[in-house]
Amino acid sequence: MKRIGIIGGGSWGTALAILLSNNKHKVDIWVRNKIQLEQMLETRENKKYLPGVYIPKDIKITNDISQVIYDKDLLVISVSSHGIRETLNSCKEVIKEDQIIVNVSKGIENDTLMRISEIVNEILPNNPYAVLSGPSHAEEVARNMPTTVVTASVDKDVAEYVQDVFMSPYFRVYTSPDVIGVELGGSLKNVIALGAGISDGLGYGDNTKAALMTRGMIEIARLGEKMGANMATFSGLAGIGDLIVTCTSMHSRNRRAGILIGQGKTIDEAIEEVGMVVEGIKTAKSAYELSKKYNVVMPITKEIYEILYKDKDVKKSVINLMLRDKKHEMEDIAKEYIESW
C-alpha cells in the first residue's frame, strides 16, 4: 500500500483516485473549489465532473493542499496545464524531495512554451518525475472499463514504480523512457481533436476526419522529432492511441468544443457549454509558436490557431488545406526512390 496525494479534483483526478483506492492504496484528493468539496463530501459523487460514479469513503477529500501532500509517497498532478505553475509554486515548500511527481495533465505553457516536465523540473528540480498518458477517458476508467496507458520517466526505476502503483486488472500500464514524446503526443492531439470536432460541426464525414487525424499525427511527429522525441512514441498509446480516442469520442471535451465552433458558436460559448477546461484551445497557441520556433510545417495546426485566435472562417480554412501545393504523402520515402520512380 502506498500513500498517494491527488492534486486536482476534476474528472481525471477523481477517476484516478478511485482507481488507486481500488488498488488498496491510501488516497487523499485536493479539491480547490469549496462548494464542489462540500458537495463531494455530502454525496460522495463529483456531480459536475464525473456524475454517477461513487467515490469510496476511504478516499479523503479536502481543501487543504498541505494535508494532501504531507507524508505521501507519490503526488499526482491533475490540474489544468496552465494552472500547474501557480499550484506548484503555492505548495513547493511542503513537498519533500523523495516524493515522486506523476503528471497526468496535458498541455504546453503559453508564455514559456515549456512542457510540464520542464515546469516541474524548474520548481522541484530534485523530485523524481513521471508522466502518465494515453487513450483514457475518466468516465470509462472510473467504471473499470479496460484501458491501457504509458508512463514515461528518464529514470527506469521511477517508471516501473509508477507502473506497479497504477496497474490493475482494468488499467494496464506500459513504460517508456521518452518523456518528450509522451508529453507532446498527449498535448498536441488536443489541437487535432478540436479540428476533428470542427469538421463534425460543419457536417463533414468520416473521410474528412480520417484525413485530419492522419495528417495531424504527421505534424505532431515532425515537431516531436525536432524537439528530441523518439518517432516510435507517436505510433503508440501516447501518440496515435490518444489521438484516435480524443478525435472520435463524445467524452472528449476538445472534440465537443470543436463541434460547437464548427456549428458557429464563439470560443467562449463553446467553453461555457462544455463546462470544463478545453486544453486544446490554449495548446493550439503554444503548438503554433513551437512550429515557428522549430521551423516545422504544421498546416492543420496553423489553420486551427487562426480559427481560434484570428477569427478565421472555418470553411475557408478547409479550402486552404485542400488546395495547398501538391506533395508526396511521405517525402522521405519519395526521396529514396526519386531517381528510379
Which candidate in 34, 92, 96, 189 is catalytic? 189
Integer Cα distance of 104 and 121 in angstroms: 15
State how beta strands 45-46 and 50-54 pair. antiparallel
Is the CB of residue 74 less than 8 Å from the CB of residue 2? Answer: yes
Return all residues near 130 (Cβ < 8 A) that are at least 6 apart: 100, 101, 102, 103, 151, 152, 153, 158, 159, 162
Is the CB of residue 73 less than 8 Å from the CB of residue 272? Answer: no
Integer Cα distance of 251 and 276 in angstroms: 12
**Could you give the dihedral angle defined by the CA atoms of residues 45, 275, 291 and 120, in that order, rounded to the nearest 10 degrees?**
-40
- Establish whether 189 is a catalytic residue: yes
Give the residue numbers annotated as catalytic, written as ranges.
Answer: 189
